[in-house]
């Protein structure tokens, strides 16, 4: 049978395979064909794996075992549901900074061009236990540094909705893989908006979980106090399914937390109360279409019966400058390990120190070098207190502002991005203009709060519809409310 990939979801695929409408091999082949057809133009994948069908055959064997064992039991449906993981046989795209044992993981950098992972990231271990099918590794900004996937050493990823425009970043390849129907789900990493922004640009759902809810073991670090791994999905339900599969404490990541770490309590009795920081939406650079779409979204919430309150986040304007001090500092520390000695690219110089300079100078791209230099500067003697410590003090103040706001509301809503996807090359000449793309997203990383982008409409440009996204932020550990509100906004069934 012909599989309609455009309307496919994890839930639909799961039910179809459970009922025998098609096999995991059929599903994998459909996505593999589309990926191979569209990737030469889109450049979502850096590598499409050559064992996809073999992986799918293993998934079909597991499905057959589940059916055989479940039919032998009296409580068939209950047993089948228990033994048939939701992600069994589901085709996944994986960002190139997440390790899969035996496969290349380059973080889209020349310095790790041929590096093969020696172990699985914890999230990959979890997905393998679920029985997913890995389609390939996806393009990204080098070491996750960027908001457009133009900083990849292997070429820009184009937006499937309009190929003259960016797919977003740094997880642009993962988002584009889904948007072009080259996978059914994907993983990305989010340090300042790197899941939510490309989700918005590609008309997808993208979740940055609470800091510590998903293990970072086996993920190449950019900003260790900011990074989180999260899912892309076509629906809120799909994102929730993937999140539930990958979350949890991990002995290999001391920052991970349990379900019991936070006990969020709602203000709203019937429905969550929505907060809107109007004062933060009056600055230059926010497109009129984005503001109009936000008003339409709020009206939709009002019609659904939600209470909407205006809130104040007094220090939110300082979030972006604080982020662009803290993040480069952590980048400088984390990328010091790539020295050409233990693994990855090695270039010979006249002596040991020159080897180091030659390797890093040739191996890192322009944006990576810029952030390493900035981070080294703010951590240097005489400037540490003036820049890095002060930025962390601002970070704590901003966090307190959000916690204060959550005394009156349950979800804070903003646009995900200040404008729809911009043209390839439009902002590369001015790093500051590019950094301003993160204005709505960096706060969730600075505060550790969970945030999700959901599709909210379109902006028509050059005769084509470019997706827009709505960002929802909740209390620490309250992904449940994000999923509930997101599903109702999208018209999905609430569990």
Annotated active-site residue in 106, 107, 148, 170: 170
C-alpha–C-alpha distance, residues 441 and 422, integer Å: 17
Whose CA is closest to 141, among 175, 115, 118, 164?
A: 175
| Count of beta carbons in the 10 Å neighbourhood of residue 334 | 18
Count of positions (residues) in the chain: 495
CB 180 within 8 A of CB 135: no
C-alpha–C-alpha distance, residues 389 and 385, integer Å: 5
Whose CA is closest to 167, among 97, 220, 272, 95?
A: 95
CA angle 45, 49, 52 (to 5 degrees): 120
What's the burial of 407, exposed, middle or buried (CB within 10 Å: 0-12/13-18/19+)? exposed
DSSP tag of 385: I
Residue 140 exposure: Cα atoms within 13 Å on the Cβ side: 33
C-alpha–C-alpha distance, residues 389 and 399, integer Å: 15
DSSP string, 402-459: HHHHTTT-SEEEEESSSSSPPBTTSSTT-HHHHHGGGTTTHHHHHHT--EEEEEEEEE
Q: H or E segment at 352?
A: helix 352-363
- Tell me which long-range contacts 281-285 makes (C-beta under 8 A, separation of at least 24): 281/414, 281/415, 285/418, 285/419, 285/436, 285/439
Annotated active-site residue in 18, 70, 95, 297: 95
Active-site annotation holds for 221 = no
Tokens (6 digits) for 390? 């002060």
Annotated active-site residue in 70, 107, 189, 194: 194
C-alpha–C-alpha distance, residues 276 and 291, integer Å: 12
C-alpha–C-alpha distance, residues 86 and 135, integer Å: 17
Active-site annotation holds for 95 = yes
| Count of beta carbons in the 10 Å neighbourhood of residue 163 | 13
C-alpha–C-alpha distance, residues 274 and 413, integer Å: 7
Active site residues: 95, 170, 194
């Amino acid at each position: 049978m012909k599989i309609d990939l455009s309307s496919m979801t994890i839930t639909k695929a799961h039910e179809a395979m459970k009922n025998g409408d098609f096999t995991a091999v059929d599903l994998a082949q459909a996505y593999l064909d589309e990926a191979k057809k569209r990737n030469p133009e889109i450049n979502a994948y850096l590598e499409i794996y050559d064992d996809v069908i073999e992986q799918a055959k293993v998934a079909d064997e597991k499905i057959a075992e589940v059916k055989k064992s479940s039919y032998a039991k009296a409580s068939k449906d209950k047993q089948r549901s228990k033994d048939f993981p939701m992600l069994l046989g589901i085709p996944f795209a994986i960002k190139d900074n997440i390790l899969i044992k035996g496969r290349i993981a380059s973080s889209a950098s020349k310095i790790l061009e041929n590096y093969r992972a020696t172990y699985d990231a914890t999230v990959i271990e979890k997905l393998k236990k679920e029985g997913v099918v890995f389609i390939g590794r996806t393009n990204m900004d080098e070491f996750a540094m960027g908001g457009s996937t133009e900083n990849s050493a292997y070429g820009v990823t184009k937006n499937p909705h309009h190929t003259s425009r960016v797919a977003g970043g740094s997880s642009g390849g993962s988002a584009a893989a889904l948007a072009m129907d080259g996978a059914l789900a994907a993983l990305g990493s989010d340090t300042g908006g790197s899941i939510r922004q490309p989700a918005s640009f590609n008309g997808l759902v993208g979740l940055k979980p609470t800091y510590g809810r998903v293990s970072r073991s086996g993920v190449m670090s950019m900003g260790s106090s900011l990074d989180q791994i999260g899912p892309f999905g076509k629906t809120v339900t799909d994102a929730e399914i993937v999140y539930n599969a990958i979350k949890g404490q991990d002995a290999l990541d001391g920052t991970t937390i349990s379900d019991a770490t936070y006990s969020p309590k709602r203000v709203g009795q019937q429905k969550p109360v929505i907060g809107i920081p109007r004062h933060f939406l009056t600055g230059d650079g926010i497109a009129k279409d984005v503001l109009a779409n936000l008003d339409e979204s709020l009206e939709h919430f009002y019609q659904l019966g939600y209470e909407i309150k205006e809130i104040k986040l007094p220090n939110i304007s300082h979030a972006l400058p604080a982020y662009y001090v803290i993040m480069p500092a952590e980048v400088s520390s984390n990328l010091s390990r790539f020295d050409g000695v233990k693994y990855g690219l090695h270039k010979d110089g006249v002596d040991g120190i020159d080897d180091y300079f030659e390797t890093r100078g040739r191996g890192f791209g322009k944006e990576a070098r810029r952030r390493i230099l900035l981070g080294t500067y703010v951590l240097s003697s005489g400037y540490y207190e003036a820049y890095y410590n002060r930025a962390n003090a601002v970070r704590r103040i901003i966090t307190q502002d959000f916690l204060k706001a959550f005394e009156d509301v349950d979800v804070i809503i903003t646009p995900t991005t200040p404008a729809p996807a911009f043209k390839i090359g439009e902002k590369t000449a001015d790093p500051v203009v590019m950094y301003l793309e993160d204005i709505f997203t960096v706060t969730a990383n600075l505060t550790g709060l969970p945030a999700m982008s959901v599709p909210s409409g379109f902006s028509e440009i050059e005769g084509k519809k470019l997706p827009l996204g709505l960002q929802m932020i909740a209390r620490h550990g309250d992904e449940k409310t994000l999923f509930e509100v997101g599903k109702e906004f999208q018209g999905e069934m609430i569990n």
